[in-house]
Amino acid sequence: MTIETSNLHIRHFSKHEHLARVGDPQRVVYKIQEGWACRYSIVPDGRRQITAVYLPGDFCEPQWLLAGKAQLPIIAITPMTVTEIPLENIYAQPGKAVQDLLGAMLKAFNRQTDWIVSLGRKSAKARVQEFLLELHRRLHASDAVSVHRCTIPLTQQDMADVLGLTAVHVNRVLKDLRKSGAISLRGKTLSLGHNERVQTEPATSGAPHMLIRPAREPMLA
Amino acid sequence: MTIETSNLHIRHFSKHEHLARVGDPQRVVYKIQEGWACRYSIVPDGRRQITAVYLPGDFCEPQWLLAGKAQLPIIAITPMTVTEIPLENIYAQPGKAVQDLLGAMLKAFNRQTDWIVSLGRKSAKARVQEFLLELHRRLHASDAVSVHRCTIPLTQQDMADVLGLTAVHVNRVLKDLRKSGAISLRGKTLSLGHNERVQTEPATSGAPHMLIRPAREPMLA
DNA sequence: CGTTTAATTGAAAACCGTCAAAGTGCGTGG
DNA sequence: CCACGCACTTTGACGGTTTTCAATTAAACG
């Protein structure tokens, strides 16, 4: 992307290893090269809610630039390869890197807004469908992905924790979607049906983005 | 606050008037002096989901600094008085104003995260309770509010649209809460019971904030 | 291969939504 | 000042979606 790629530390995380824990001071943000991760919260009764999913190409997490610490834990869903982007450098000489990170933060913000709408006002079936289509779209944007096929390394429990459902119900909904031909997730392979490839546009993060105001951006000089 | 208060335009909005519509270019952000507003989205079947509530003292909306336009409509819940903060000025000479707005954006971001956790993993009763306590806490922070009493100008339909519920169910939950003595909302007056005043701490936005990293902030010079 | 983890299925129950009707409060105008 | 209209609140009966509990099957992993 646009963040300078010289002198970057490469780092690996194994499956289920934490990239950050609650309250950890963060001196870097990660740019994900390979693998998936998620941010989550555990509620008092022990259940988990995933509040963000990080894919290759994503920053994890842009808001560390502002907060300087992790408000919620981040865990690797698969083995990961990331590059470390030191925040000190960015503080010292703000430039395009700041714009990239703030742009990514705005995207994450809009994605959260869309997710609130889904959780509050959409059925389980619509949420599953929308989530899988979003994953496909995001993978397609950064990476080379077939138009109607991609790999989703999430368990049904992971998806349930994103979708605010139980794993059992996710399973039933996936069966329904498979039967109705819209979307098929068999094993880790997601296949999109012919007609259902275009639909369920999100309210905010789906628009072709103009992230930073064209004239006189504040963060550049 | 810390945004310069000289040369500010004052503006009024009447109840149910839009502060912004989808896609509107935004050359200002509003600092709310009086009244409440909310951001919302309408789903295809016509139902509404509120994704943010703006109280006196809040900025509406910090992310306009980055996006330059409104991704979702904002509507006044009550008659409002606001001051306009022109973004051009901030672009021209970034300073404390940028830090204030980015700090507010981070708070809004964390608030959204907490709300995803509520919608995904908490019961209707817990959501109502948590929402009312959050409103009380936020009112208490900026304004002079009694420790156990405040005014909530929302209809039960408004609350339902925040909480991802129906107005009928909100009504029943409020009755339950009143009976169990925890929280009482009669008319527009919210009263907190003796023992239930401290509880349900949010995962992120509840912590005593250190918003901007203490050393070498990027947005200042 | 055996062991663990994940996926699948069924039956029953809980939670919340829908529909419908009646009650309450409040502002406007006569 | 009272009557009316309108918006909001409250209540009941019923239905649907999702959860819970439990058991079985399938897949992944050493």
Cβ separation A218–B65 shorter than 8 A: yes
- Cα(B188)–Cα(B152) distance, rounded to whole angstroms? 5
Put simply, the chain B residues between 121 and 160 with a CB less than 8 A from any chain A CB are 121-122
The CATH number of domain A122-197, selected from 2.10.10.90, 3.90.260.10, 2.40.40.20, 1.10.10.10? 1.10.10.10
| pLDDT at B146 (0 to 100) | 72
Of B residues 167-186, those with CB within 7 angstroms of nucleic strand C are 168-169
Helices (H), A68-193: 87-92, 96-121, 124-142, 156-163, 167-179
User: Tens of pLDDT along B163-196?
Assistant: 999 999 999 999 999 998 789 999 899 999 765 5
Residue B12 Cα distances to A56, B9, B15, B33, B82, angstroms: 46, 10, 10, 10, 6
Q: What are phi and psi of B89, to 5 degrees?
A: -55, -40
Assess if CATH 2.60.120.10 describes domain A9-116.
yes
Q: Is the C-beta of residue B116 closer than 7 Å to nucleic acid chain D?
A: no
CA distance B180 to chain A (A): 21
Q: Which nucleotide is nearest to A186 (CA to C1')?
A: C7
Residues of B whose CB is below 8 A from A115:
116
| pLDDT at B181 (0 to 100) | 78
Put simply, the chain B residues between 31 and 70 with a CB less than 8 A from any chain A CB are 39, 41, 43, 47-49, 51-52, 63, 65-69
pLDDT tens digits in sequence order for chain B, 221 residues long = 555 555 679 999 999 999 999 999 999 999 999 999 999 999 999 999 999 999 999 999 999 999 999 999 999 999 999 999 999 988 887 788 899 999 999 999 999 999 999 999 999 999 999 999 999 999 988 665 677 899 999 999 999 999 999 999 999 999 999 998 789 999 899 999 765 544 455 566 533 333 233 334 433 22
Cβ separation A119–B122 shorter than 8 A: no
pLDDT tens digits in sequence order for chain A, 221 residues long = 555 555 679 999 999 999 999 999 999 999 999 999 999 999 999 999 999 999 999 999 999 999 999 999 999 999 999 999 999 988 887 788 899 999 999 999 999 999 999 999 999 999 999 999 999 999 988 665 677 899 999 999 999 999 999 999 999 999 999 999 789 999 899 998 765 544 455 566 533 333 233 334 433 22
Question: Among B182, B199, B103, which Cα is nearest to A63's?
Answer: B103
Q: Which residues contact B77 (CB under 8 A, 6 or more apart)?
A: B15, B16, B35, B36, B37, B38, B153, B154, B158
**Residue limits of CATH 1.10.10.10 in chain B:** 123-197
Cβ separation A164–B102 shorter than 8 A: no
- DSSP conformational letter for A195: G
| pLDDT at A191 (0 to 100) | 93
Q: Is the C-beta of residue A81 closer than 7 Å to nucleic acid chain C?
A: no
Q: Which nucleotide is nearest to A122 (CA to C1')?
A: D17
Q: Is the C-beta of residue A151 closer than 7 Å to nucleic acid chain C?
A: no
Nearest by CB to residue B119, choosing from A116, A203, A210, is A116
**Residue limits of CATH 2.60.120.10 in chain B:** 9-116
Q: If one looks up domain B123-197 in CATH, what number appears?
A: 1.10.10.10
